[in-house]
Structure 1
Amino acid sequence: MVEQLGEVTIRLADVADAAEIARVHVASRREAYAGIVAAEYLAALDPAAREPEWADYLRAGPDEGVRTWIAWTPGHALGFASLGPSRDEDAARNEQEIYSIYLDPGMWGHGVARELMRTILAEVAPPVHVSLWVLADNERARHFYRRHGFSPDGTERLQEFGGEELLEVRYRRR
């Protein structure tokens, strides 16, 4: 699915998009996780180091049922989101999971994340459930997910970020 949003195109990402996705991923994490995740960890994030990881991920994704969309404007990415089969042990056979949704911090509040979410959700036919994991202290993201029909289902886990164990909450949309 390719969707136009002004001069922004939302399309499936490919390996050629890895550098831009890595750039957005690092910038977004640094901003969104400031005060939640250790500052040293965030400062050490390197888009150049993440680029080959993203290239591998984008190359293998379709074979594993994972799709990544990119919000693109001429010359650079504004955001991206990935969807695939749920990785949770208690997931139903066809349940989907949003693995990531990140936006260039300069684009927060401009509707790009909303359009990425709408694109993802349009790919999931009811009655398939969609889940995602969010840091418990990331109130901005939690609010965004609630606005899109997600709610916490009571499942939590500890996830390692920069040597710290941080609480994540699972959200589901039915």
Structure 2
Amino acid sequence: MPDDLDEVAIRIALVDDAPAIARVHVRSWQEAYESIVPAAHLASLDPQTRAEEWARHLETGPHDHVRTWIAESQGTLLGFVTVGPSRDEDARPREREIYSMYLDPGTWGHGVARHLARTVVQEVGGAFPLSLWVLAENERARHFFRRNGFQADGTERFEDVGGAELLQVRYRRG
């Protein structure tokens, strides 16, 4: 991990980024959801399998208005965010959804997520409302999104994650 995270660059993800995105994705899940998601599910997450999924996703490029941005410093991928059209039945016209936003756990609290969130808001949030779903028990993420202008809108749903029914809360901005 680079020592100086002041030099964070944000750019659109490329297919070659898939292995690094996958490593960050798996590490972030294993750390952030350690006491939320069943341990067996977290242990089963495979960076190689996830890299293949990410490569397939990225090789089609931005499609259906879905984009993935990465944050990097000194050639090291620190995190990523994927945004596309809202998948919710009650989505407002032209609403966009943050599908995923994950950071390498070593970067938590160093402003990298803020850089990614600002990019998303600049790129799509000014013209479109934004929404996202966050696990109710993930207080770190909920706090981050509140600090960055998102508000829980009262909509909740359950999702099966690794055999556990976990409550998710929807946040919106704009």
Give the secondary-structure state (helix, strand or coil) at the position aligned to 1:65: coil
Give the secondary-structure state (helix, strand or coil) at the position aligned to 1:110: coil
Write out aligned runs for 1:102-121 (5 A). 102-121=102-121
Write out aligned runs for 1:49-128 (5 A). 49-126=49-126, 128=128
- Cα distance in structure 1, aligned partners of 2:60 and 2:156: 28
- Cα distance in structure 2, aligned partners of 1:36 and 1:70: 26
Shift of 1:143: 0.1
Q: TM-score if structure 2 supplies the norm length? A: 0.93
Structure 1 alignment gaps of length 5 or more: none
- Cα distance in structure 1, aligned partners of 2:78 and 2:126: 29
Give the secondary-structure state (helix, strand or coil) at the position aligned to 2:124: coil
Shift of 1:164: 1.3
Change beyond 3 A, Cα 1:111–1:142: same
Range that drifts further, 54-63 or 145-154: 54-63
Please tell me the root mean square deviation across aligned C-alpha atoms, in Å: 1.3
Per the alignment, residue 20 of structure 1 pairs with 20
Shift of 1:35: 0.4
Per the alignment, residue 171 of structure 1 pairs with 171
Per the alignment, residue 38 of structure 1 pairs with 38
Q: TM-score if structure 1 supplies the norm length? A: 0.93
Range that drifts further, 68-77 or 130-139: 68-77
- Cα distance in structure 1, aligned partners of 2:61 and 2:91: 19
Per the alignment, residue 48 of structure 2 pairs with 48
Change beyond 3 A, Cα 1:61–1:139: farther
Figure out how many residues of one structure are paired with residues of the other and give that number. 170
Shift of 1:58: 1.4
Structure 2 alignment gaps of length 5 or more: none
Q: Once superposed, which parts of structure 1, at least 4 consecutive aligned residues long, lie more than 4 Å away?
A: none
Per the alignment, residue 140 of structure 1 pairs with 140
Q: Deviations over 1:116-139 (max 9, x none)?
A: 000110012545210000000000
